[in-house]
Structure 1
Amino acid sequence: MEATLEKPKTQTKNRLIRRVAVLGSGIMGSRIAAHFANIGVDVLLLDIIPKEPNGAELAKGLTTDSPAVRNRIVSDAFQTMLKASPASLYSPKFAQRIKLGNFEDNLKDIAGYDWVIEVVVERLDIKRSIYERVEQFRKPGTLITSNTSGIPMQLLTEGRSEDFRRNFAGTHFFNPPRYLRLLEIIPGPETDPAVVDFLMNYGDLYLGKTTVLCKDTPGFIANRLGIQSLIQTIRVAEDMGLTVEEVDKLTGPVVGRPKSGTFRLSDVVGLDTTVNVAGNLAKMEHDESRASFELPQSVQKLMENKWLGDKTGQGYYKKTKDEKGQTQILALDLKTFDYKPSQKVRFTTLDSTKAIENLKKRFPVLLAGQDKAGEFYRRTFADGFRYATNRIPEISDELYRIDAAITAGFGWQLGLFETWDAIGVRKGVEIIQAQGQQPAQWVYDMLEAGIDQFYKVERGRRYYYDIPTKSYKAIPGVEEFIILENLSNNIVWKNAGTTVYDLGDGILNLEFRTKMNTFGTEVSEGITKALNLAEKDFRGLVIGNDSTEAFSAGANLATLFMFAVEQEFDEINLMIAQFQSRMMRLRYSSVPVVVAPHTLTLGGGCEAVLHADRAVAHAESYMGLVEVGVGLIPAGGGTKEMAARASDLYQTGDPELNILQNVFMNIATAKVSTSAQEAREMNYLRPTDQIVLNRSRLIAEAKQAAIELADNGYTQPKQRTDIKVQGKTGIALFKAGLTAMRMGRYISDHDMKIADKLAYVICGGDLSAPQLVSEPYLLDLEREAFLSLSGEKKTLERIQSLLAGGKPVRN
């Protein structure tokens, strides 16, 4: 395995996964193959052979014996995966880890593979025929798993050998496999328990997944609950006369769910996919609510019209062009089935929760609303709560598995029982009963026993209510995770925007808690305080948080804008100098500082990473120095640090200006990495920095890195005076390129002015020849350039546009 991703210790005796064969190259198969390639595994991706050459192949004189024809299906699917957005691979170069082939010529090659994953069409006869052929070639003991979304394991393994059945299980990935965290593990009736343990552990450590053990029941856990919720939401919307836009607003981020909401999600997934799953679930004779999977009227009508969503160009939404050629989003009228321009949505209940940042505190207000929104929430959540209680012990013996599956599979921030806890269990029962329904008897028994929470936290561990024993038990498998929300008793210090926790073993953690974790006065104060505390009484500092949106979206521009409009340039100068000082304190602290970035890590957030002794980054880290987009340059040490990193890459005989140009272009174009691996390729992460697959392990891994640095005899570093800059030579190169871009109208006059300033700083100023300079020297250049740009009218226009609408103007 390459050094790009740190591989945990072998977790199960005598079972190593070096090579994985994926059978079936469709949307799921090709993307599962990509994710295994992401973690450094060699992958064999196979599919069927076409029945005959297509027109282009016939024109080239190719036949069904030609390799290009025989591998056309798998090759086309592979190319589609490579072009897809968002990307399935952490880096395009990882594509070389995937070898393509077909079932006729290459199935025999699986004899050299450690794990075979079947991802063919959801038909029992086809899967069985594949397994029969697989058994001819697989070595005894080789893992064989299926990505089926609902076919029972017992039916899949009928007629197979004992060794096959013992090493077989369901491994149900959710699409897209790189981004959705759920991996459902479904043992068959004869699956070796050691195989189940291995898959649970491997999915967690290596694939970065929330692995959930499921019973072999229809739809397993996530689809059973998620599809029921989706269908019932549509049914309630029709009954209440709500619009498509209203429902998507009500079921989006306001309740901790993806922006797609309900109807947009249906369009993305494909209505036919939802209908197929719902149709299978509606056949369950033992489900008291199987009627809830019957299709609502709008779904039936859409299916009749073959308006299946994005794949057919229209569904609940339709994208068109207006008379000016501008893209326009139309929404389906559920009453007339005509499309109309999408409308903005407003509800009094939603307005009343705008100031409530904490999702758990928001739910009681949402469900108490006296308008249509409140009624909608009471009806849908009451039904969801009731349905979940009746699925225990059918689909799971433990309620926490239901929440884990639904949150990881559908991107909800809170599961059903977690949401119920937020409004109060007794209150939830009242809401259910007000809808003429009842939860399962075990909920009444629990309340009667004086227990009124599904979860509780003690000594940093989270516990769930165990129904058979009527007591709390620790959630297993998360002992190594550090979840800051569970450490409320370990708070050392806090202010309005940050919290400092004692993680134990002499390590502190600084958590940002501002909107999008932007840097402002509170965060600056928090950094200083955390460093002072760590240097006085502790061994190290971690900077990390559990936000689902951003590690940090950068600086809070509102204060800067206010000073700039008032032309308070002394205040701006002081503000930037203080921010630079804090970044340098991170670099030159007397104790090790480890930063744990994830998701959006922009501007000042990226600069904090650049100045850490070590970064421990989640694989899904989108990093960049993006200040140019608002008419500025990085001035929290970002430009200085990238000049230093470029200098460190110079080797005798290397074209130094080419290296510096790559760094310059990344900043000048405000490029953001699409993964932690790309951030490493852009030099925002160093080879010594660590990449972690499982987000839940991030802070724990960062803590361990801080301990290791301290244990290895951490010594406070000294400021650098050896940064090689290019002076006039570099500036001339960049000016020539910028002039050509301006003449070609690729950039505006203001873009050119910003880039000129950036070139001046990153080249070390107007020096007559390349030479060595110090960090303070470059920091002064940074600050001067930033200060001058903050007085530009067009920069203020960009900042104002970002603050007002979330996107800067191009001027």
Structure 2
Amino acid sequence: MNRHIQQVAVIGSGIMGSGIACHFANIGVRVLLLDIVPRELTDAEKAKGLTLEDKRVRNRLVDESLAKALKSKPSPIYHQDFARRIETGNLEDDIHRVAEADWIIEVVVERLDIKKQVFEKLDAHRKPGTLITSNTSGIPIRFMAEGRSADFRAHFCGTHFFNPARYLKLFEIIPGPDTQPEILEFLREYGERFLGKTSVVAQDTPAFIGNRIGIFSIMSLFHAVKEMDLTVEEVDKLTGPVIGRPKSATFRTVDVVGLDTLVHVANGIRENCPDDERHSLFQLPDFISSLMENGWLGSKSGQGFYKKVKKDDGSSEILSLDLGTLEYRSKKRAQFATLEQTKTIDNVIDRFAVLTAGKDKAGAFYRQSFGALFAYVSHRIPEITDALYKIDDAMKAGFGWEHGPFQIWDAVGLDKGIAMAEEAGQQVAPWVGEMKAAGAASFYQVRDGATYFYDIPEKSHQKVPGQEAFIILDNIRKSNEVFKNSGVVVEDLGDGILNIEFRSKMNTIGGDVLAGLNKAVDLAEANHRGLVVGNQAANFSVGANIGMIFMMAVEQEYDELNMAIKYFQDTMMRMRYSSIPVVAAPHGMCLGGGCELSLHADMVVAAAETYIGLVEFGVGVIPGGGGSKEMALRASDSFRKNDVELNVLREYFLTIGMAKVSTSAYEAFDTGILQKGKDIVVVNKDRQLATAKAYAALMADRGYTRPVERTDVKVLGKQALGMFLVGTDSMHAGHYISEHDKKIANKLAWVMAGGDLSEASYVSEQYLLELEREAFLSLCTERKTLERIQHMLKVGKPLRN
């Protein structure tokens, strides 16, 4: 049967419950969010004369929890308007309404007795066939289903979201003893396709997959720091971005999550996994016990492994915990020779062989920690899951690891990984030796653009399922390469569609990338049907190469700078007016020039987590790659009969002038950077390139025709210019902006007004591009602009001068 999820009931409105409710609202599902009824009035309620029977009182807990979640940073919701899809209620007055839901998700306190009471009530009200799942992080699913109806048990399982539900991609599905197989398959597909998650089916074992391996890694490290005489700073240096982990690394992550949360899960594993070969590792080290006794739990208690303090001069300082004395001290810089050797290695996966070969303390640390990890994960199959790729998927999606344990093992080499485990005093599982004896030298293989994993029962490599919906550039880059230079790779995606992938640092746009874009359009026009501009790095593009701009401006090479800006503009126009459809696929940070590129594509297929905006004001210039022109053009296209056109233009002006950056792709529709009816958003970033390719092919199939160049852009001339100049004058007079901010804003006003034309006129895009380029160049001659660019290059943050 076809199953459709139109309404979800979420039971429990805490941080996790409200986050899950918001994420379902993100994807367009109606949500009923329920929680318990308060037993006492607050002082404020008493002052208002309310009683315990008043609906506002009875819904107080759920309403306050949701309101708190919606105000939190980062936001759990793509757009504040989406919160209207969530309706609140309580478990006494509204529990009968769970009969309206297609899926009921329990997210109450982690106590089996309370969960079983809730399930008894839900079983009495749910309609037969309704999905019912628990978001438990470790309570056995089989215990929760005891005593329930046959229909309940058949449709019941665990669905473990990771917090925050919007941002962390792991979605663990844990079957109960009676869960129908088709329910598991539906949830796996729904998680991938609609929720944008990496769905992983786990066994019903303590902590499931992600937390079992993640907590092992942290506990292993806790025991190692004293043995290896490592500081908090050194560990966080070694376990952060250098190995493809989040910037918060280990100890900062524990502070954010809460030490008590980690200890709770670790204790659960120790108590419930007596046969785990590393059982003793889950016993808390003395320094962790001391932190728990002191209540130093991290951010929630104001101090943990780090502590922020005020200095005498009013500034603040972050202190680090000395693990020997348990006293706070000033942070020490961590440096290791081995890490220095990896600075020129851009691809994280290529660093592991160097890191584990290091001759210093860092090398010893990596051999010890990875050796222990390799042995541990090898023993977890089939205990926690039936396939090794699911462990890698879980760690990447749930803990933000760029590469999973078996991928890292492949990177260092099978034999070396086994030796590292033995050096760490551990033995790998017997199946690894059997795999080696059978002639397999790696856990993964790539063949014909697809990834294959070593299937232990089959004793051979099998294709990872579900890849048909994805395009994985790492798998096809070499075999499908059409063109390559130092900044881009152009790949053939098949079906007549090319992809151009930026490969520069942070995917900045410089001369090599622009040359690659022109070449890609030429190739697509000559022998293909369409072009996608997309990559699978952390960010789409942070913008133009401002280092190059800075050097030209400092050397006063204005002719060369003018040519460079014109080359950027011409490339954007080449994309727009090519004879094939061009689809941009932005994700992550898409700033400045990256945003301008998206503005000039025929269509944008944006990942939901796209933070896009024209941020050039932060470095003292206006958008110079067609962005200023494009905002004027889009304002013109937005003018409607009887509109106050100045107000419409002002909104587009402010998008640039305030350097607005959307906190999701959906917010970019509000700023006019994405366009309704033309651009779309995909929730699952893994499907983005395949979706972009499909739309490029669809446009080609429908008979794509090269657009006619625009000469009908309505600009308002002196009328708009006067309004803008008065506005910037008053903002400066009120000390809201600096003198240089005013100068930049006035330059932008000149462009978007079309200059000082005596009346509203129709102009061409080229006319506006020339105004834009002239304004950009003139700002590059300003000392304060150069100060702003230099500051951004040095510290990565804008300077207000």
TM-score (norm 2): 0.99
Q: Which residue of 1 aligns with 2:528?
A: 538
Task: Report the Cα offset of residue 690 of structure 1.
Answer: 1.3
CA distance, structure 1, for counterparts of residue 766 and residue 336 of structure 2: 53
The DSSP-based 3-state class of the residue aligned with 1:104 is coil
Please give the residue correspondences for 1:610-649 in structure 2 after superposition, counting only pairs within 5 Å: 610-649=599-638
Q: Which residue of 2 aligns with 1:478?
A: 467
Q: Which residue of 1 aligns with 2:122?
A: 134
Q: Which residue of 2 aligns with 1:730?
A: 720
Q: Which residue of 1 aligns with 2:705?
A: 715
Please give the residue correspondences for 1:107-126 in structure 2 after superposition, counting only pairs within 5 Å: 107-126=95-114
Code of the residue aligned with 1:403 in structure 2: it is: D
Aligned: 1:35 with 2:16: no
Q: Which residue of 2 aligns with 1:796?
A: 786
Aligned: 1:323 with 2:322: no
Could you report, residue by residue, the CA deviation over 1:148-197 in whole angstroms, capped at 9, with x for unpaired residues? 01111110110000000011111100000100010001111111111111
The DSSP-based 3-state class of the residue aligned with 2:446 is strand
Among residues 270, 273, 276, which one is paired with 2:261 in the alignment?
273
Task: Report the Cα offset of residue 316 of structure 1.
Answer: 0.6
Among residues 750, 755, 769, which one is paired with 2:759 in the alignment?
769
Task: Report the Cα offset of residue 447 of structure 1.
Answer: 1.1
Could you report, residue by residue, the CA deviation over 1:496-542 in whole angstroms, capped at 9, with x for unpaired residues? 11100010000000000111100012101110111111000000000
Task: Report the Cα offset of residue 643 of structure 1.
Answer: 1.0
Q: Which residue of 1 aligns with 2:580?
A: 591
Task: Report the Cα offset of residue 117 of structure 1.
Answer: 0.5
Among residues 353, 365, 369, which one is paired with 1:380 in the alignment?
369
Please give the residue correspondences for 1:545-584 in structure 2 after superposition, counting only pairs within 5 Å: 545-548=535-538, 550-584=539-573
CA distance, structure 1, for counterparts of residue 544 and residue 171 of structure 2: 36
Q: Which residue of 2 aligns with 1:202?
A: 190
CA distance, structure 2, for counterparts of residue 273 and residue 738 of structure 1: 50
Among residues 391, 410, 413, which one is paired with 1:424 in the alignment?
413
Whether the 8 Å contact between 1:52 and 1:63 is mirrored in structure 2 is: no
Task: Report the Cα offset of residue 344 of structure 1.
Answer: 2.1
Could you report, residue by residue, the CA deviation over 1:23-74 in whole angstroms, capped at 9, with x for unpaired residues? 0000000000000000111111111111110111111111111111111111
Q: Which residue of 1 aligns with 2:680?
A: 690
Task: Report the Cα offset of residue 327 of structure 1.
Answer: 2.1
Task: Report the Cα offset of residue 655 of structure 1.
Answer: 2.0
Aligned: 1:512 with 2:505: no
Among residues 210, 217, 240, which one is paired with 1:229 in the alignment?
217
Among residues 411, 421, 425, which one is paired with 1:436 in the alignment?
425
TM-score (norm 1): 0.98
Among residues 745, 748, 756, which one is paired with 2:735 in the alignment?
745
- 436-445 or 221-230, larger mean C-alpha shift: 436-445
CA distance, structure 1, for counterparts of residue 796 and residue 757 of structure 2: 39
The DSSP-based 3-state class of the residue aligned with 2:453 is strand
Unaligned residue ranges in structure 2 (runs of 5+): none
Whether the 8 Å contact between 1:602 and 1:625 is mirrored in structure 2 is: yes
Among residues 655, 662, 677, which one is paired with 2:666 in the alignment?
677
Code of the residue aligned with 2:314 in structure 1: it is: G
CA distance, structure 2, for counterparts of residue 175 and residue 696 of structure 1: 20
Aligned: 1:22 with 2:28: no
CA distance, structure 2, for counterparts of residue 793 and residue 717 of structure 1: 41
Q: Which residue of 2 aligns with 1:5?
A: none
CA distance, structure 2, for counterparts of residue 327 and residue 708 of structure 1: 55
CA distance, structure 2, for counterparts of residue 101 and residue 461 of structure 1: 47
Q: Which residue of 2 aligns with 1:303?
A: 292
Q: Which residue of 2 aligns with 1:8?
A: none
CA distance, structure 2, for counterparts of residue 169 and residue 357 of structure 1: 42
The DSSP-based 3-state class of the residue aligned with 1:331 is strand
Could you report, residue by residue, the CA deviation over 1:459-508 in whole angstroms, capped at 9, with x for unpaired residues? 00000011112110000012210010000201111011110001000000
CA distance, structure 1, for counterparts of residue 552 and residue 106 of structure 2: 60
Aligned: 1:704 with 2:688: no
Task: Report the Cα offset of residue 238 of structure 1.
Answer: 2.1
Please give the residue correspondences for 1:52-201 in structure 2 after superposition, counting only pairs within 5 Å: 52-201=40-189
Identity %: 57
CA distance, structure 1, for counterparts of residue 442 and residue 5 of structure 2: 41
CA distance, structure 2, for counterparts of residue 728 and residue 168 of structure 1: 67
- 410-419 or 717-726, larger mean C-alpha shift: 717-726
Aligned: 1:405 with 2:390: no
CA distance, structure 2, for counterparts of residue 238 and residue 520 of structure 1: 47
CA distance, structure 2, for counterparts of residue 209 and residue 632 of structure 1: 39
CA distance, structure 2, for counterparts of residue 479 and residue 140 of structure 1: 34
The DSSP-based 3-state class of the residue aligned with 1:211 is strand
Aligned: 1:760 with 2:750: yes
Task: Report the Cα offset of residue 623 of structure 1.
Answer: 0.3
Code of the residue aligned with 1:163 in structure 2: it is: D
Code of the residue aligned with 1:390 in structure 2: it is: H
Whether the 8 Å contact between 2:368 and 2:423 is mirrored in structure 1 is: no
CA distance, structure 1, for counterparts of residue 554 and residue 408 of structure 2: 44
CA distance, structure 2, for counterparts of residue 690 and residue 671 of structure 1: 20
CA distance, structure 2, for counterparts of residue 662 and residue 146 of structure 1: 45
CA distance, structure 2, for counterparts of residue 424 and residue 362 of structure 1: 13
Task: Report the Cα offset of residue 436 of structure 1.
Answer: 2.4
CA distance, structure 2, for counterparts of residue 517 and residue 50 of structure 1: 52
Q: Which residue of 2 aligns with 1:492?
A: 482
Among residues 384, 391, 394, which one is paired with 2:380 in the alignment?
391
CA distance, structure 2, for counterparts of residue 492 and residue 566 of structure 1: 37
The DSSP-based 3-state class of the residue aligned with 2:544 is coil
Q: Which residue of 1 aligns with 2:283?
A: 294
CA distance, structure 1, for counterparts of residue 248 and residue 223 of structure 2: 18
- How many residues end up aligned between the 2 structures? 798
Task: Report the Cα offset of residue 808 of structure 1.
Answer: 2.8
The DSSP-based 3-state class of the residue aligned with 1:282 is helix
Q: Which residue of 2 aligns with 1:656?
A: 645
Whether the 8 Å contact between 1:319 and 1:329 is mirrored in structure 2 is: yes
The DSSP-based 3-state class of the residue aligned with 2:469 is coil
Code of the residue aligned with 1:410 in structure 2: it is: F
Code of the residue aligned with 2:53 in structure 1: it is: D
CA distance, structure 2, for counterparts of residue 744 and residue 163 of structure 1: 67
Task: Report the Cα offset of residue 746 of structure 1.
Answer: 1.2
CA distance, structure 2, for counterparts of residue 528 and residue 720 of structure 1: 21
CA distance, structure 2, for counterparts of residue 325 and residue 477 of structure 1: 55
Code of the residue aligned with 1:618 in structure 2: it is: A
Code of the residue aligned with 1:708 in structure 2: it is: L
Code of the residue aligned with 2:669 in structure 1: it is: R
CA distance, structure 1, for counterparts of residue 19 and residue 613 of structure 2: 26
CA distance, structure 1, for counterparts of residue 287 and residue 646 of structure 2: 61
Aligned: 1:282 with 2:270: yes
Whether the 8 Å contact between 2:246 and 2:401 is mirrored in structure 1 is: yes
Aligned: 1:369 with 2:358: yes
Could you report, residue by residue, the CA deviation over 1:253-292 in whole angstroms, capped at 9, with x for unpaired residues? 0000000010000010011110000000011122111211
CA distance, structure 2, for counterparts of residue 566 and residue 278 of structure 1: 59
The DSSP-based 3-state class of the residue aligned with 1:144 is strand
Task: Report the Cα offset of residue 426 of structure 1.
Answer: 0.9
CA distance, structure 2, for counterparts of residue 344 and residue 780 of structure 1: 49
Among residues 211, 219, 222, which one is paired with 2:207 in the alignment?
219
Whether the 8 Å contact between 2:38 and 2:61 is mirrored in structure 1 is: yes
